Structure 1
Amino acid sequence: MRAVIILIIILIAATAIAGCTSSPPATPSYSVNNNGVLSVTCAPVTTTENMLFSNETYTESRVVLHTQTGDVVTYLSYPKQPKAVMVYIPGAGEKISGHAERMVTYAAAGYAFMFVDIRGRGGETEGDAFNPQTDYARFESGNWPQYYLTICDISSARAVLASRFSVPVYAVGGSNGGRYAAVAAGVDPKFAGYVGISTADWGLRDAVLDQGGSGDILRFATSLEPSTYLPGISPRPVWMFHNATDPFIPFADGKALFATANEPKTFIEFNGDHGINSDVDQRLIAQWAQIYGT
């Protein structure tokens, strides 16, 4: 009898140990379904952070995401207890220096702001300038297109910030950055919502269709377009900002992208020309004040 009891204890202990054993992290992978919708399994990242400045209003630091395919540089500003966080994807030519005042503005309003220097912008993060042909060749060979790696980078930034602050994290982007942010918000359902500024579809899918393309090349082109993902962001909110006289991305194209989103959604015409500015900041803060309070 004693031997039976000992055996039962051993089995119970073994079961408890087995239940506590964590599974190894999933192998990084991506897939694109027949509708051109991207799914990704991203490798875990580690981070290195260097504080740059701190006062009673906010702290600013340089945070490097160490991924399996290279380092991605980000800059983070945050108050002591942020109510929400924005992962900001910049457009072409935007530098972190141009966002110094913005970082203070959002922190003073109670929000954290992360500037992600995505791959291929010519900044501190290495990579190639966005080239659909080069990325399609990678896609066809079964390798990771840089575009998809960038989506993982944005999703990884969200995971790092959500774990750190335990508050909602939004995907935000201006111009080309708004395109990446839209895809990331659609691919990663843990983003709290999406904010697009002066942005629209790339037009790659329409170009492929106009040339009679189909199959893999059409699936790939579709996987890059923000409009592929905007409908699926609902019931999370979508805010889009555009200026009627935008000199780079036509107002009508921004409205066309907005039309593909489901409710809840808000379209705001702002004062300026192209890209994020102080008017967008104040309007967005006013929108979020309705959710998180002043």
Structure 2
Amino acid sequence: MKKNKKIKSRNHQTFSQHIGLRNIAVGMGIVLILTGIIGILHNLNFSEYWHVSDEGMLSYNLPQKADYSITEINKTESGHTLKSLVFTSRDNVIHALMRFPSSSEKVPGVVVLPGAGVTKEEQQAMVSAITDMGYASITIDQRNLGVVDPETDLSLFENGKEPVEYLMVYDALMAAEVLRDQKEVDPANIAMLGISNGGRFAIIATAIDPKIKGVVAISTSGYNTALINRSMVEENTYIFYRSIDPDTYIATISPRRVVMFHAFNDTIIPYSMAEKTFKLAMEPKAMYAINGSTHGYSNYTKEELEKELEIIFEQMN
């Protein structure tokens, strides 16, 4: 991340009259040394885990080990095993539910990221359908329940601090790591699935972690930040807004699969926005246009979702 620093100096002639040209050179040398030290400390404090390129591409040092605790295990009426747990993700504790089918073999797993304001419990109808398909899953309560505040995050970014939206992406990456660690799960077969805001985080997380096999994005889109005139805004503003836009990342997911579901008459995120994001994705990809105005998962698309998850987990095996 680049920061512009302005250094105020005294008038050269007045300053040299007091301390001499030699002292100026010594003083400037000290300033340069101190500036370098501050820069190194800044990178250690704020860039040890994450980095954003000049083009707005977020990257993370991916988690190596999941720190989590199972708090409760139950059987559902449908025969699924439901595990409640908490896991540590950067500076926070994330609450999650894992659901497993009845199987004697390791099964693929899906990280489920609900939409803004939706809890992990409220997402279980769809998750139960995924379990019936034969897949394990982890569904998380996102920070702020997936609600974002771009202006506050921009301020954090400009001050060298980690924006909350970045942390939400990291939470998804850590959830994948937790799922990989389960004895019931094939660690090489993990996919992301997100709804609305959760779909945005799912796309970015899939782009960052090459181990993720593919992504399903439901009722979501990018922000079309490519239309921002870079020369007309502050550089950090441009970089930040590009960094939170799935449109910036989606092409890099290939050759892994991108799948999108979107209702023609979605009143929250227009279909046209989803269509623009989908066009940016490279093959292999698929988009399902749904009749009606449903925002979120529809049980009418269960068959298509099952087909697409099967394709995602079969590819590149």
The CA distance in 1 between the partners of 2:199 and 2:311, in whole Å, is 23
**Which residue of the partner structure matches residue 173 of structure 2?**
155
Paired amino acid for 1:141: N
* Partner residue of 2:70 out of 49, 53, 65: 49
Q: Does residue 71 of structure 2 align to residue 71 of structure 1?
A: no
Does structure 2 conserve the Cα–Cα contact (< 8 Å) formed by 1:82 and 1:112? no
Secondary structure at the aligned position of 2:181 is classed as: helix
Does structure 2 conserve the Cα–Cα contact (< 8 Å) formed by 1:205 and 1:225? no
Q: Does residue 245 of structure 2 align to residue 225 of structure 1?
A: yes
Q: Does residue 280 of structure 2 align to residue 260 of structure 1?
A: yes
**Which residue of the partner structure matches residue 24 of structure 1?**
none
Does structure 2 conserve the Cα–Cα contact (< 8 Å) formed by 1:82 and 1:111? no
Secondary structure at the aligned position of 2:260 is classed as: strand
The CA distance in 1 between the partners of 2:236 and 2:142, in whole Å, is 26
The CA distance in 1 between the partners of 2:242 and 2:219, in whole Å, is 20
Give the CA deviation at 1:204.
Answer: 5.0
Paired amino acid for 1:32: V
Structure 2: state its 5+ residue gaps: 1-46
**Which residue of the partner structure matches residue 200 of structure 1?**
221
Alignment CA distance shift 1:83-1:279 (3 Å):
farther
Q: Does residue 60 of structure 2 align to residue 60 of structure 1?
A: no
Does structure 2 conserve the Cα–Cα contact (< 8 Å) formed by 1:65 and 1:73? yes
Give the CA deviation at 1:96.
Answer: 3.0
The CA distance in 2 between the partners of 1:46 and 1:180, in whole Å, is 21
The CA distance in 1 between the partners of 2:299 and 2:181, in whole Å, is 29
Give the CA deviation at 1:292.
Answer: 5.8
The structure that has the greater radius of gyration is 2
Does structure 1 conserve the Cα–Cα contact (< 8 Å) formed by 2:97 and 2:120? yes
Q: Deviations over 1:259-292 (max 9, x none)?
A: 0000000011234511112123331112334566
Paired amino acid for 2:237: I
The CA distance in 1 between the partners of 2:55 and 2:106, in whole Å, is 38
- TM-score when scaled to structure 1? 0.81
Question: How many residue pairs end up in the alignment?
Answer: 260
Give the CA deviation at 1:94.
Answer: 1.9
**Which residue of the partner structure matches residue 60 of structure 2?**
40
Does structure 2 conserve the Cα–Cα contact (< 8 Å) formed by 1:51 and 1:59? no
Secondary structure at the aligned position of 1:120 is classed as: helix
Q: Deviations over 1:115-145 (max 9, x none)?
A: 11111128xxxxxx42111111111111111
Paired amino acid for 1:151: V
Secondary structure at the aligned position of 2:165 is classed as: helix
Comparing 140-149 and 159-168, the one that deviates more: 159-168
Aligned-pair RMSD on alpha carbons?
2.3
Q: Deviations over 1:203-245 (max 9, x none)?
A: 4564x53892141110111000001110000000000011111
Alignment CA distance shift 1:290-1:217 (3 Å):
closer
Comparing 65-74 and 230-239, the one that deviates more: 65-74
Alignment CA distance shift 1:205-1:71 (3 Å):
farther
Paired amino acid for 2:86: V
Determine what percentage of the aligned residue pairs are the same residue. 28
Q: Deviations over 1:156-194 (max 9, x none)?
A: 111221232224111111111111111111111111111
Give the CA deviation at 1:70.
Answer: 1.2
Alignment CA distance shift 1:289-1:31 (3 Å):
closer
1:147-186 → structure 2 map (5 Å cutoff)? 147-164=165-182, 165-167=185-187, 168-186=189-207
1:1-294 → structure 2 map (5 Å cutoff)? 28-42=48-62, 44-54=65-75, 57-79=79-101, 80=103, 81=105, 83-121=107-145, 129-164=147-182, 165-167=185-187, 168-203=189-224, 206=227, 208-209=228-229, 212-272=232-292, 273-290=294-311
- TM-score when scaled to structure 2? 0.75
The CA distance in 2 between the partners of 1:282 and 1:213, in whole Å, is 45
Does structure 1 conserve the Cα–Cα contact (< 8 Å) formed by 2:173 and 2:205? yes
The CA distance in 2 between the partners of 1:224 and 1:94, in whole Å, is 20
